[in-house]
């Protein structure tokens, strides 16, 4: 049978002339054509639906990016209905546990996406065409816009005199951390905080950028940008040191930090000093107490909270000798060591495996002491807080009496013997905090501040140069200070750099809060 009949109308006279076999073939062929057309139509509909979803997603991305780059952050107020739903009701039996995302995260940008039908539907009752009533059925959900790397082509306009044509003037380039760099300030901040705040190694950052379309981003250039940033904001780092030097109570701790190259000595140390509002780091090539002495000699500190490392004892002795030589009017009070009770408790806990009953007594006393300390935190510096500290003294005396009684019962090098001698030898330094409400019970706050640098050290192994060590100290100091006082590091760094470009003086995160 001729194939032309499959795609064009066939006259009825011609159909009557078909034999039975030709008619069967004709019908089967037409059915195949119809099936293929139906299948193709289904594919087109599926493709249209897919394109429609992509258009919605692109629209969503566009709105978020538009709000991010060209408008202020959303300050949406809850609707009257939402406000009423949160008002206390006498007849309400239970609280609503689930909040709308816009109420739970009020600072997040909010976009509205209208879902409409392209073709108006038909009424099921009378078959009339329906109209949009203006009512909506609302729902909220969270979404995310993947990070995008964008190339900005900067066009600085040139102006000339239309009369004499004697001179040309070009619009000045906006100030940047590194003029002429291939990276904007925003990208430099993102690279630095991805490493020193989110602890993402630079090479991993480059690989992540490659998956987002920015392939072959050189990690060395990104590392260099962090050095430029650290140099640019170094005065804020100096401000942190000044806050440390003027503090009455200082926490101190140190941890190994490898120098992979750039110095003959590989084993360096990251030294951390902190207050309740400031975290300050230095990276030095020694663990000698001279590092602490250099800082304490310039400080007004009266109490140094630390572990029982001989370097801190040496630093306190040297500082007091230095202060004795100063003019009496300029001389700060004598400096005292305050030792961390968490360390002695850990020693007794380690001895518990072999000396269960003996060590348990000390652990029970410390359990009571720390319970009182938790209550004290609610009162700050009131008389109730002082009274709670005084209640701890009998527990310390009970441990001292028991330790003196047990001193000769355990070998000097046994776990229990070491724990008892450690406690008795430094008993006064362990109990200083009971006499002064401003002193902490332990040095855990400083140890927490070292956590991110330690994780970072394990992730990128160390520094490759002395300049890299300084960059690490500067950026970790500012980032950890932000975390310590509840400041968003990205907001702080962005505002700090904007103000430095504007000629304003550098400021610390604590000063940023008070602005």
Say how many CA atoms lie within 13 Å of 258 toward its Cβ.
Answer: 12
pLDDT of residue 76: 42
Per-residue pLDDT, 47: 79
What Cα–Cα distance (Å) separates residue 390 from each residue in 153, 227, 393, 461, 502?
Answer: 67, 50, 6, 46, 52
Answer whether residue 61 shows pLDDT above 60. Answer: no
pLDDT value for 177: 94
Could you tell me the two tokens for 156? 């600085």
What is the model's pLDDT at position 74? 42
In the Cβ-directed half-sphere of 375, how many Cα atoms lie within 13 Å? 15
Supply angle C-alpha 204, 208, 211, rounded to 5: 140
At residue 285 the predicted structure's pLDDT band, cuts being 50, 70 and 90, is very high
CA 307 to CA 422: how far, in whole Å?
11
The 10 Å CB-count burial string (b at 16+, else e) for 155-193 is: eeeeeeeeeeeeeeeeeeeeebbbeeeebbbebbbbbbb
Q: CA 363 to CA 354: how far, in whole Å?
A: 14
Mean pLDDT, rounded, for 52-57: 56
One-character DSSP codes across 278-296: -EEEEEES--STHHHHHHH
pTM of the full predicted structure? 0.76
**Predicted confidence (pLDDT) per residue in 95-134, tens digit:** 556 788 888 888 888 888 888 888 888 888 988 888 888 8
Tell me the pLDDT tens digit for each residue of 201-245: 999 999 999 998 888 899 999 999 999 999 999 999 999 999 999
**Residue 485 to residue 492: CA distance in whole angstroms:** 12
In the chain, the percentage of residues whose pLDDT exceeds 70 is 87
Instruction: Write the DSSP assignment of 70-99 as a string of letters.
Output: HSPPP-PPPPHHHHHHTS--TT--S---PP
% of residues, the chain, pLDDT over 90: 56
Lowest mean pLDDT among 215-229, 349-363, 467-481: 349-363
pLDDT at 358 over 60: yes
CB contact at 8 A, 508 and 239: yes
Above 50 in pLDDT, residue 387? yes
Instruction: Report residue 94's pLDDT band, with 50, 70 and 90 as the boundaries.
Output: low
Instruction: Tell me whether strands 249-258 and 303-306 are parallel, antiparallel or unpaired.
Output: parallel
pLDDT category at 366 given cuts 50, 70, 90 is: very high
The pLDDT tens digits for 9-28 are 666 666 666 677 777 777 77
Pick from 278, 293, 206: nearest CA to 247: 278
In three-state secondary structure terms, 424 is: helix
Can you tell me the distance from the alpha carbon of 174 to that of 180, in angstroms, rounded to the nearest whole number?
A: 11
User: What pLDDT band is residue 8 in, cutting at 50, 70 and 90?
Assistant: low
Per the document, the length of the chain is: 515
Instruction: Give the pLDDT confidence of 67-89 residue by residue, as tens digits.
Output: 455 544 443 434 434 444 554 54
pLDDT at 1: 46
* The pLDDT of residue 500 is above 70: yes
Is residue 405 pLDDT above 60, yes or no? yes
**Averaged pLDDT for residues 458-481:** 94
**Does an H or E element contain 420, and which?**
helix 415-425
Element (H, E) at 339: strand 336-339
3-class secondary-structure state, position 383: helix
- The arithmetic mean of pLDDT across residues 130-143, rounded, is 87
If you average pLDDT over residues 461-470, what whole number do you get? 91
């Amino acid at each position: 049978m001729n194939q032309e009949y499959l795609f064009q109308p066939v006259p009825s006279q011609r159909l009557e002339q078909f034999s039975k076999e030709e008619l069967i073939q004709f019908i089967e062929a037409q059915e195949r054509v119809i099936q293929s057309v139906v299948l193709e139509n289904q594919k087109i509909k599926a493709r249209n639906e897919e394109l429609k979803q992509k258009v919605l997603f692109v629209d969503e991305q566009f709105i978020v990016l538009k709000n991010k780059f060209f408008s202020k952050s959303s300050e949406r107020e809850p609707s009257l209905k939402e406000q009423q739903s949160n008002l206390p009701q006498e007849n309400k039996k239970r609280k609503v546990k689930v909040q709308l995302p816009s109420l739970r995260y009020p600072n997040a940008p909010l976009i509205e996406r209208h879902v409409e039908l392209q073709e108006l539907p038909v009424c099921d009752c009378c078959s009339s065409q329906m109209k949009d009533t203006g009512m909506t059925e609302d729902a909220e959900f969270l979404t995310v816009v993947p990070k995008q790397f964008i190339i900005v082509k900067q066009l600085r306009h040139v102006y000339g005199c239309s009369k004499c044509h004697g001179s040309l003037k070009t619009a000045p380039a906006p100030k940047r951390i590194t003029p002429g760099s291939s990276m904007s300030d925003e990208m430099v901040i993102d690279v630095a905080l991805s490493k020193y705040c989110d602890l993402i190694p630079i090479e991993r950052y480059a690989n992540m950028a490659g998956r987002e379309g920015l392939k072959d981003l050189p990690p060395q250039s990104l590392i260099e940008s962090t050095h430029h940033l650290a140099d640019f904001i170094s005065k804020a780092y100096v401000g942190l040191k000044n806050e440390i030097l003027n503090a009455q109570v200082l926490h101190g701790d140190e941890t190994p930090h490898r120098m992979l190259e750039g110095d003959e000595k590989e084993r360096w140390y990251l030294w951390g000093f902190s207050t309740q509002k400031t975290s300050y780091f230095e990276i030095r090539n020694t663990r000698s107490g001279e590092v602490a002495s250099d800082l304490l000699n310039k400080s007004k500190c009266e109490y140094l909270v630390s572990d029982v490392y001989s370097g801190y004892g040496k630093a306190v002795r040297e500082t007091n000798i230095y202060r004795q030589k100063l003019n009496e009017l300029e001389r700060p009070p004598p400096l005292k060591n305050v030792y961390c009770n968490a360390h002695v408790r850990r020693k007794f806990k380690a001895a518990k495996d072999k000396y269960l009953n003996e060590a348990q007594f000390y652990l029970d006393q410390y359990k009571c002491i720390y319970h009182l300390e938790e209550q004290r935190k609610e009162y700050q510096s009131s008389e109730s807080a002082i009274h709670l500290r005084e209640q701890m003294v009998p527990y310390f005396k009970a441990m001292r009496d028991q330790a003196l009684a047990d001193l000769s019962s355990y070998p000097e090098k046994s776990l229990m013997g070491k724990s008892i001698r450690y406690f008795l030898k430094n008993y006064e330094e362990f109990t200083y905090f009971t006499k002064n409400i401003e002193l902490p019970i332990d040095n855990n706050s400083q140890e927490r501040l070292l956590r991110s640098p330690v994780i970072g050290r394990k992730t990128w192994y160390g520094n490759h140069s002395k300049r890299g060590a300084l960059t690490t100290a500067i950026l970790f100091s500012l980032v950890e200070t932000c975390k310590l006082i509840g400041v968003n590091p990205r907001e702080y760094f962005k505002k700090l750099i904007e103000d430095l470009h504007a000629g304003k003086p550098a400021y610390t995160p604590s000063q940023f809060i008070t602005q």
